[in-house]
Amino acid sequence: MLNGLMQEQPLLISSLIEHAARLHPQGEIVSRTSEGPIHRCTYADVRRRARQLANALTALGVGAGERVATLAWNGYRHMELYYGVSGTGAVLHTINPRLFPEQIEYIVNHAEDRLLFFDPGFLPLVEKLAARAPGISRHVVLTDRAHMPASSLPGLLCYEELLAAQSADFAWPQFDENSASSLCYTSGTTGNPKGVLYSHRSSVLHSWAACAVDGLAVSAQETVLLVVPMFHVNAWGMPYAGAMSGARLVMPGPALDGRSVYELLRDERVTLALGVPTVWLMLQQYVESAGLRPAEELCLRRVVIGGSAAPRAMSERFANDFGAFVVHAWGMTEMSPLGSVCNLLPRHAGLSPEQRLALQEKQGRAVYGVEMKIVDDDGVELPHDGLAAGHLLVRGPWITRAYYREEGAGNVDGDGFFDTGDVATIDADGYMQITDRAKDVIKSGGEWISSIALENAAIAHPAVAEAAVIGAAHDKWQERPLLIIVRKAGHELGRDEMLDFLRDRVATWWLPDDVVFVDELPHTATGKLHKLRLREQFRDYRLPGA
Ligand code: ADP
């Protein structure tokens, strides 16, 4: 081997904010604060304050590799922590506040967090946690002195005071790019949450994929609304990709209801927005009930939807009412999260709107850096014909190889592939489509029925607000689909009408055996349908004729 003669520069997260502050010093970060008002700052400000934070962390004795936790919504202070903590070589542990308190307690102790930075609104949670998480030596409220809440917590620190006491001179240390940078736990719908430990190298490489035109095309041309929370897989890497590209970032804080999101889209002239289907559902319902005309009022060009399948009806409404193109994407905490993106190819230019919507139902093609394959139960690779459905396995430099503190076990096979737990097809062009999570697939007489496909077909009915499909016990077929519906307010819809609607849209043997109507469906901490809880709820349910 002959070594190349290029510079060996470690890929470090601090280099992203340095780049942004040099090349896009006026690039704006707009935040809706927990206190209410809109706050504006620039990449230059984020760098300055991240450096002050780095000095503060050093003064508090936080060493390289130590975990610093956050309980915070999307906002500029959280962004400063992304850079200030990781930049010093410490590890940022973003906690999902929607987890059960026992799960939060578990992960704080499992991660051995030393410091906890939190939004004032989380004080009651933090006060309860404090006694059960003795490893946390200091608690810092993300606010100024005027908004410091009264609390019995000993030695509570005020973030703005902490920063004000420090100089903005700080030379980011240079270290191995494989060092850990941040930590995120999966929601653990079954069993305890598992820690995914990202590295500086994986985070920087992932940002390039997010910025690539055939990735999410994040660039300085865009104003990006991060509806996806910064405690959910690093907001899909957007705080890093934003700095890499100089994109203008808009952070919604805790207000994720339809009206607040709509106002931000309109007032901040957002061009690209990212989030899970649940929030887009709230937005679309608000627009419908308020009789708004988003296509005329907004500049929204693209909406990235991931985390759960983007139903066709949702993409259609974004196209027709908002004039926005839905970019369907797939990934997971274990993948940083970006795995595939549904962008069109040149030969799709002539597709009819119907054909394009059908293509957009797929989760898209693997981005460079992610290898995908589908295998059967015996591990034999299946063809990429768009029909064969199998376990989806992935490999790449921003995909986990072991969970935190379970390193010995590893979580990849002999060839380095990670089993995503999803079941998917891949077509001849490489477009992947998730048919189900392996544990949610409905096994009817040895055949598999896709719960996602049925849900998407049901949600297209104008009276349906939300739909879930689970397998219910059946003597003859083992399992048959049960459709559970939340009706839109003020709409009528009966079982037979729903089934008639589906009859033209799905294979006859996929037709649910029954339909039930409920007021609401349970969701997980990351906004997905909580299928496990639904299955428990309907455990004793008898299908007609079962
Ligand atoms: P959690 O902690 O809830 O598991 P993740 O975001 O890591 O959160 O969940 C990843 C899973 O979400 C994937 O394995 C897949 O099942 C599902 N998922 C993500 N994106 C999509 C999508 N576009 N379509 C269907 N399912 C998706």
Ligand 1 mutation target, pool 99, 393, 399, 528, most atoms within 8 A of CB: 528
Contact 53, 276 (CB under 8 A): no
**Catalytic residue positions?**
186, 334, 443, 448
* pLDDT at site 187: 77
Q: Is the CB of 384 under 6 A from ligand 1?
A: no
Predicted pLDDT at 442: 93
In 383-457, DSSP assigns E strands to: 390-395, 418-426, 432-437, 442-444, 447-449
CA of 368 to the centre of ligand 1 (A): 20
**pLDDT recorded at residue 188:** 67
The rounded distance, in Å, linking the Cα atoms of 29 and 45 is: 9
pLDDT digits (tens, 9 = 90+) for 374-386: 999 999 999 999 9
Contacts of 497 (CB under 8 A, 6+ apart): none
Pair 543, 474: CB distance under 8 Å: yes
- Structure tokens belonging to residue 210: 């997010």
What is d(CA 249, CA 121) in angstroms, rounded to the nearest whole number? Answer: 23
Main-chain phi, psi angles of 361, to 5 degrees: -70, -20
**Which residue, chain included where needed, has tokens 């006491």?**
165
Mean pLDDT by 10 residues, the chain (546 residues): 97 98 98 90 98 98 98 98 98 95 96 98 97 96 96 95 98 98 86 93 98 98 98 98 98 96 98 96 96 98 97 96 98 98 97 97 98 96 97 98 94 96 97 94 89 94 95 92 95 95 93 96 91 92 86
CA angle 86, 92, 95 (to 5 degrees): 160
Distance between CA atoms of residues 29 and 7, nearest Å: 32
* Distance of CA 56 from the midpoint of ligand 1 (Å): 36
CA 200 to ligand 1 centroid distance, Å: 23
pLDDT value, residue 447? 85
Closest to 85 in 3D by CA, of 229, 182, 184, 18: 182
Q: What is the 3-state secondary structure (H, E, C) of 105-167?
A: HHHHHHHCCCEEEECHHHHHHHHHHHHHCCCCCEEEECCCHHHCCCCCCCCCEEHHHHHHCCC
Ligand 1 in reach of 271 Cβ (< 6 A): no
3-state secondary structure (DSSP) of residue 249 = strand
Protein residue with its CA nearest to atom 26 in ligand 1: 308
> How far, in Å, is the centroid of ligand 1 from the Cα of 267?
31
Q: How far apart are CA 67 and CA 83, in angstroms?
A: 14
CB 281 within 8 A of CB 305: no
pLDDT the model gives residue 34: 79
| Closest residue to atom 19 of ligand 1, CA basis | 307
Task: From 32, 26, 19, select the one nearest 76 (Cα to Cα).
Answer: 32
Residue 268: CA count within 13 A, CB half-sphere: 28
